[in-house]
Each structure stands twice: as C-alpha cells, then as structure tokens.
Amino acid sequence: MNLPTEDLINSARDIIKQSERIVAFSGAGLSAESGIATFRDHKTGALWDKYDPTQLASQEGFRHDRKLVIDWYNWRRQNIQAVKPNSAHQALAKTKTLQNQTWQHVTQNVDNLLERSGLDEEQVIHLHGTITRNHCNSGNCDFSEQVDLANPSPLSQCPQCNNDYLRPSVVWFGEALPDHAWGKAQDACSNCDTLVVIGTSAQVYPAANLIPIAKQAGAKIIVVNTQSSGASGIANIELIGAAGDILPQLIDSE
C-alpha cells in the first residue's frame, strides 16, 4: 500500500477546515481496526466470504432457519461488545465539540462504536439499522427492545403479539432502509460542503447513492480507504490508508 503523501493529507485537511457542513459517511472499514470483520474486504476476514448473506441476512433465510440467524447475530453482538472504538472513531467523536463546523455522521455500520467513542445517539444516522435492538418480525406489531450485547437472548417469540419472532433491528437484503434515517442522510448529503467517505466498498445501494447525491449538490468528496473502491472515481481526494491512521490527521480538535 502506498501511503498518501503529506501534501495530499494537507489538501484534504484544508478542504475540511474550510467547510462549515461536513458529513462523515462510513462503512465496515471504520470498525475493522477494532477487530470487527468487514463484509467484502478479503484482507480483514470478509464475512460474506465465509457466510451466505441470503441465509443470514434476508427474510427468506430467517424463515428457513431462525435459530441459525439469531445465533449468528448474537455471536456478532458479543464480538462488538468485546472490542473498543479505534482512533478513527475517536477522531470522528472529537467533531462533537467543534464550534465552527457542523458534522453529521451517517454510517452503514450496525455496531455502536461511534456512540461508545462519545457521539450522542441522535448524532449518528444508522442507515442499515442497529444490532443493539430487536423488534418483532411481524409487520403488524410495534414491539422493540434494547439488547444486552454481552448476553443476548436466544431466539424468542415476540412477548407482545406472540405471533412472530424477535429479530435484530438491522436491514436485511431485500428490505427498505428505515425511512427516517434515509431521509435525514439524503438531506445531510444534499446540504454539505464536504463528504468524507470512510471504509466502505460503496457497492451497496441505495446507501452508496449518497456519494453522487453530495457531489451533484456541489460537495467535495474525500475518500479514505485501504484500497480503491466504488467511490474512487468520484473522489476529489482519495487517501489510501487505514482510517485509524488517516482520520486523526484530518480532524482538528479544539
């Protein structure tokens, strides 16, 4: 990997410094240095190399083997609970106290590492939901609950309607993104000066559309990734390297 030159880092830093409204749009690469596997990056033990997404992350898979799906999410929950935010999460959390800039955080990650690094829950838009909650799988029941990540409950029926099972509050393939989150993310990206795209292959839609949405609205695009990605072609500046090394160099704290 060729590390980005100091000039390139400085140019990205200047763009960020001169911006008033910034959106950080992240994917699994943001949490990779904490020890959470990505989905498609073979170097970081890509989950979709080992597991079948249609079996584990779809309504069809859940109907076929509910216990398998819940056990897999509970294994991931325990992994997330066992790791810590890394220096990239911490750099993003520092934006909370900046006086002259508004940062919004849009993530495809279902983990809670941005919140655990200090951002408030309402500051993080989880486009693909969150693994920290369960809800009833029935479309007709509004039951939802917080999950103890260290001791998640095994497969269980919904205690409210008794008609269907509880499932993790994440977006599965074939499901729509949560309306509220998607609306907020589109607004944020249509109104930012700079979009910092961190650790995402930018291959999963509609989330990846946020990048052209921001570009068309006139934002500068800075991409941070260990390799080229679906966002490379649209980037004003592409910084090839680990988020944990690069983000602390881009973001000033006051």
Q: Which residues bind ligand OAD (CB under 6 A)?
A: 27-29, 32-33, 38-41, 44, 46, 57, 108, 128, 171, 199-201, 203-204, 224-227, 229, 242-243
| Given 89, 126, 128, 180, the catalytic residue | 128
Report the residue number, 165 or 172, with the smaller CB distance to ligand OAD.
Answer: 172
CB atoms within 10 A of CB 179: 8
In the complex, what is the shortest distance from the CB of residue 229 to ligand OAD, in angstroms, rounded to a whole number?
4
For the question of residue 105 being annotated catalytic, the response is no
Place of tokens 């030159």: 5
**Closer CB to ligand OAD, residue 102 or residue 234?**
234
**Least distance to ligand OAD, CB of residue 114, Å:** 13
Of residues 136 and 239, the one with the C-beta less far from ligand OAD:
239
248 Cα distance to chain centroid: 18
Q: Are the C-beta atoms of residues 26 and 108 closer than 8 Å to each other?
A: yes
Q: What backbone phi and psi angles, to 5 degrees, belong to 90?
A: -65, -40
CB 99 within 8 A of CB 162: no
CB of 244 vs ligand OAD, minimal distance in Å: 6
Minimal distance in Å, beta carbon 38 to ligand OAD?
A: 3
- 25 Cβ neighbours under 8 A, 6+ residues apart: 106, 107, 185, 189, 195, 196, 197, 198, 200, 210, 211
Least CB distance from residue 195 to ligand OAD, whole Å?
15
CA 223, CA 187: separation in Å to the nearest integer? 20
User: Between 152 and 199, whose beta carbon lies closer to ligand OAD?
Assistant: 199
CA distance 112 to 90: 13
Question: Which of 137-140's residues contact partners 24+ apart within 8 Å by CB, and which partners?
Answer: 137/62, 137/164, 137/165, 137/166, 137/167, 138/163, 138/164
Residue in the block written with tokens 């076929």: 64
What's the min distance (Å) between Cβ of 72 and ligand OAD?
A: 12
Nearer to ligand OAD, 48 or 191 (CB): 48
- Pick 18 or 228: Cβ nearer ligand OAD: 228
Q: Which residue is nearest to ligand OAD (CB)?
A: 29
Q: What are phi and psi of 42, to 5 degrees?
A: -60, -25
Q: Please give the positions annotated as active site.
A: 128
